[in-house]
Amino acid sequence: MRFLLVAAFCSSLLCALPTVAAEKPNVVVIMADDLGYGDLSAYGATAFQTPHIDRLAAGGRRFTSGYSTASTCTPTRYSFLTGSYAFRRKGTGIAPPNGHLVVPPDAVTVADLARTAGYRTAVIGKWHLGLGAEGKGPDWNGSIAPGPREIGFDYNFLLPTTNDRVPQVFVEGDRVVGLDPRDPLWVGDRIPSPDHPTGISHRDTLKLNWSHGHNGTIHNGISRIGFYTGGHAARFRDEDLADAWAAKADAWLEGNRSQPFFLFLASHDLHVPRMPHERFQGKSGLGFRADSILQLDWQVGELMKSLDRLGLTEKTLIVLCSDNGPVMDDGYQDSALEKRGSHRAAGPYRGGKYSVFEGGTRTPFITYWKGRIAPGVSDEVVSTIDLAASFAALTGTPLPDDACVDSVDVSGVLLGTPGARGRKELVQQDNGGSGNFGFRAGSWKLVRSDSRFAHNLVVEERLARTPVPPYQLFDLSQDPYESTDVLARHPEKGEELKARLAAIIAAGRSR
Cis peptide before 480 (omega within 30 of 0): no
Q: What pLDDT score was predicted for residue 468?
A: 80
Q: Do the bridges between strand 155-159 and strand 120-126 make them parallel or antiparallel, or are there none, so unpaired?
A: parallel
Provide the whole-model pTM: 0.93
Please spell the DSSP secondary structure of 253-277, one letter per residue: HHHTTTS-EEEEEE--TTSSS----
CB neighbour list of residue 174: distance below 8 Å, 6 or more residues apart: 143, 144, 145, 147, 149
Q: What is the pLDDT confidence band of residue 467, given thresholds at 50, 70 and 90?
A: confident
What are the start-end ranges of the E strands in 127-220?
A: 155-159, 171-172, 175-176, 186-188, 218-219
Domain boundaries, the chain: 2-178+250-414, 425-507
- Residue 336 φ/ψ, nearest 5 degrees: -60, -40
CATH number 3.30.1120.10 given to 425-507? yes
Cα–Cα nearest to 320, from 280, 267, 391, 360: 267
Q: What pLDDT score was predicted for residue 33?
A: 98
Query: From CA 60, how far away is CA 368, in angstroms rounded?
Result: 4
Query: From CA 326, how far away is CA 507, in angstroms rounded?
Result: 31
CA distances from residue 78 to 85, 86, 140, 148, 356 in whole angstroms, order as listed: 8, 6, 22, 12, 17
Sign of the torsion angle spanned by Cα atoms 270, 272, 275, 277 = negative
Assigned CATH topology for domain 2-178+250-414? Alkaline Phosphatase, subunit A (3.40.720)
Instruction: Answer whether 45's CB lies under 8 Å from 348's CB.
Output: no
- Residue 386 φ/ψ, nearest 5 degrees: -85, -5
Task: Give the mean pLDDT of 160-165.
Answer: 97
pLDDT at residue 3 is higher than 50: no
pLDDT digits (tens, 9 = 90+) for 264-296: 999 999 999 999 999 999 999 999 999 999 999
pLDDT digits (tens, 9 = 90+) for 376-421: 999 999 999 999 999 999 999 999 999 999 999 999 999 999 999 9
- The CA radius of gyration of the chain, in Å to the nearest whole number, is 22
